[in-house]
Amino acid sequence: MKLLYTREEIEKRTREVGKQISKDHQGKDLLIIGVLKGCVMWLSHLLIEIEGNTEIDFMTVSSYMRGTESGELKLVQDLDTVVKNRDVLIVEDIVDTGKTLKYVYEYLKSRGARSIEIATFVNKMQRRQLNDLPEVKYIAFEYDEPEFLIGYGFDYKQRYRNLPAVYKMEESDFWDKE
């Protein structure tokens, strides 16, 4: 594994993104929706940096079926919160192909959200498969290389999420390549 973002770099960017979200949503009753499981690390730190009235909820949309291959989307866990007429901020760990983001955005739109904005820890344009995605307004890091990322919420076969930094996986790091 090769180190990509240190803990200190992550903390700095998280403070900056949180400050911008706070400024842009001053006086609003913001509903923050985390897309599980990958967002947990970043969202927990980001929440501390956001000032003002917020409510959080989570949904789980699964797309990775076998390690690094993106499969068909499936809603695994729905929201407990009513989103109708709410200002919503979707928090993602990574916007990669764009399929999960599009699915979640359209889902929230169909449920009557007043406004929907998006924050992502990593925006990865290199694998983007959709051209009609909504704008990703808050981005901690841009990354456009093909390597698979692990750590700070990113996983490989449900492992490595707990690493305090982000790493690029090298070919020798993968196991069970079937």
pLDDT recorded at residue 170: 81
Residue 71's pLDDT is: 64
Has residue 39 been placed in a domain?
yes
pLDDT for the residue numbered 113: 97
* Cα–Cα distance list, 160 to 3, 78, 123, 154, 173 (Å): 13, 25, 20, 7, 11
110 within domain boundaries = yes
Phi, psi of 64, deg, nearest 5: -90, 115
pLDDT at 83: 97
pTM: 0.90
26 part of a folded domain: yes
Integer Cα distance of 39 and 92 in angstroms: 5
What pLDDT shows up at residue 173? 74
Which among 3, 5, 16, 38 has a CA at the least distance from the CA of 139? 16
Per-residue pLDDT at 176: 64
Residue 64: per-residue pLDDT: 53
Q: What is the three-state SS of 93-157?
A: EEECCCHHHHHHHHHHHHCCCCEEEEEEEEECHHHCCCCCCCCCCEEEEECCCCCCEEECCECEC
Is position 74 within any domain?
Answer: yes
At residue 133, the pLDDT reads 86
- Structural domain contains residue 122: yes
Residues of the chain falling short of pLDDT 70? 63-71, 176-178
Would residue 36 count as lying in a domain?
A: yes
Within a domain: residue 178?
no
Residue among 96, 144, 155, 173 flagged as catalytic: 96
Q: Is 96 tagged catalytic?
A: yes
pLDDT attached to residue 49: 98
Pair 61, 91: CB distance under 8 Å: no
Range of the domain at 93: 2-173
Q: Is residue 9 part of a domain?
A: yes
| pLDDT of res. 70 | 55
**By C-alpha distance, which of 176, 178, 166 is closest to 2?**
166
Check which CATH number belongs to the domain holding 102 and give it. Answer: 3.40.50.2020
pLDDT value for 28: 92
